[in-house]
A = this chain, B = another copy of it.
Amino acid sequence: MRVAILGTGLIGASIGMRLRQAAGKSKVEVVGYDRYADVARQAQKLGAVDVVMHTPQHAIEGADLIILATPLLAIRKIMEEIAPVLGPNAIITDTGSTKAAVLRWADELLPAHAGFVGGHPMAGKTQTGPRAADAGLFEKARWIVVPTTRSSERAINGVLWLADTVGAESMFMDAAEHDAYVAAISHMPMIAATAMFDMERSSDAWPELSLLAAGGFRDTTRLTGTDPAMAFDIAVTNREHTVHWLNRYIGALIDMRELLLAPEQEEALFRRIAEASFEYHEFVNGKVGRQQAASPEMDAASIMSFQDFMAGSWLREKLSDIVGNAEERVAENERQKRLRRDV
């Protein structure tokens, strides 16, 4: 079997490495191409591809499976380049972070027989390039598979084979659904992280702030460090969904601000904070997907509702403290306000 990987950066090279490790079983030969010849050569040195070709057209010659792993906006250009020489039997897929735009380009640019199947492995790093590649990158990650009405059964199976061979779990979605979901949990958080970091760095107090910033700030803003070309391509190909979730997030921040500003709402504030914290730990510990008792992700016994948790823990005591001292703190708040007015 011959696999052509066009774009041998982090994702392309990680796929190549893993496929070549599996080569013993199924005889996979990996051909690599990258717009930057040194990137392709590096991928080859690191064992991610067997052969390097210098044009995309040469790279796909005789390939059974073609993987477009370039930056998102470059997928369009590379589709134009390979369309004239695309054989009738090659399966073609991609690894781009948004899907509606990619499927539209495939529809416009590729021959009807191509039967493109969209793909998106939900794994990555903020480092880029083949040097950051890792054969284990996709282990247990979700690999979203987005067929079109033109995709053949054979092409879909080819992409499922790919996901399985690199250790990922496939999930079918349509393009609009995919783009909405990733906007929510990936693209909007990336834009929000960038806005937060940029706002802090532009502040006059940044010299002091940067000295005080600890791991919490670094983690909250980590997605700012995403490869800027990738971040930009995502933003412009998934504009509307990202803006939709940005609006919801801005709304959530405004709600939170109202709660913060109302000293008489302290109990509600504590409940909100405590429930989110509880659910966050549950999430990180594997409470994901539909929460059936028999979910394979988590033991039934370890699933506990926030209400149960609250009732049986020290949180209850904290809540009584809050309720008990509420009057005192509202009074202190009033007094502080008066003091400031006097000054």
Interface residues of chain A, those whose CB is within 8 Å of chain B, are 36, 73, 122-124, 141-142, 144, 171, 177, 180-182, 184-186, 189-201, 203, 205, 207-214, 216-229, 231-232, 235-236, 239, 242-243, 246-257, 260-261, 263, 266, 269-270, 272-281, 283-284, 287-291, 314-315, 318, 321-322, 325, 329
Q: Are B279 and A201 in contact, with the CB atoms below 8 A?
A: yes
Q: List 17 A-B contacts (CB under 8 A).
A: A124-B214, A171-B212, A184-B200, A189-B196, A189-B217, A192-B220, A194-B256, A195-B255, A198-B252, A199-B249, A201-B283, A213-B288, A221-B280, A228-B274, A228-B315, A232-B274, A247-B257
Say whether, besides A210-B289, A223-B220, A197 and B256 are in contact (CB < 8 Å): no
Query: Known: A207-B291, A235-B269. Is A276-B201 also a contact (CB below 8 A)?
Result: yes
User: Shortest beta-carbon distance, A144 to chain B, in Å?
Assistant: 8
User: Is the CB–CB distance between A232 and B194 below 8 Å?
Assistant: no
Task: Determine chain A's interface SS by DSSP, over half rule.
Answer: helix
Residue among A185, A257, A329 with max Cβ neighbours from chain B (10 Å) = A185
B contact residues around A217 at 8 Å (CB):
185-186, 189
Docked-complex contact A229 and B318, CB < 8 angstroms: yes
A144 to B332, CA, bound (A): 26
In Å, the complex CA distance between A249 and B214 comes to: 19
Q: Is the beta-carbon distance between B260 and A256 smaller than 8 angstroms?
A: no
Contacts A192-B256, A235-B260, A236-B263 supplied; 18 other A-B pairs, CB < 8 Å: A123-B214, A124-B214, A180-B205, A185-B213, A186-B214, A189-B220, A194-B272, A195-B249, A198-B252, A210-B288, A218-B284, A221-B280, A228-B273, A228-B315, A232-B318, A246-B256, A247-B257, A249-B253
Indicate if the CB atoms of A196 and B329 lie closer than 8 Å.
Answer: no
Listed residue (A144, A200, A218) with the most chain B CB atoms within 10 angstroms of its CB:
A200
Closest CB in chain B relative to A211 CB, distance in Å: 5
Report if A207-B289 is in contact (Cβ < 8 Å); known contacts: A217-B189, A261-B243.
yes
Q: Chain B residues with Cβ under 8 A from A260's Cβ? A: 191, 235, 239, 242-243, 246
**Residue pair A122, B290 in contact (C-beta under 8 Å):** no
Q: How far is the CA of A266 from the CA of B234 in the complex (A)?
A: 12
Residues of B contacting A222 with CB < 8 Å? 216, 219-220, 280
Please name all residues of chain B whose beta carbon is closer than 8 Å to the beta carbon of A250 when the two chains form the complex: 250, 253-254, 257
Q: Considering the chains assembled together, what is the distance between the CA atoms of A212 and B141 in angstroms? A: 8
Q: How far is the CB of A134 from chain B (nearest CB, A)?
A: 13
* Contact status A322-B273, CB under 8 Å: no
Q: In the complex, which of the residues B197, B270, B272, B322 contacts A280, with contact meaning CB atoms closer than 8 Å? A: B197
How far is it, in angstroms, between the C-alpha of A195 and the C-alpha of B211 when the chains are bound?
A: 26
Chain B, residue nearest A283 (CB): B210
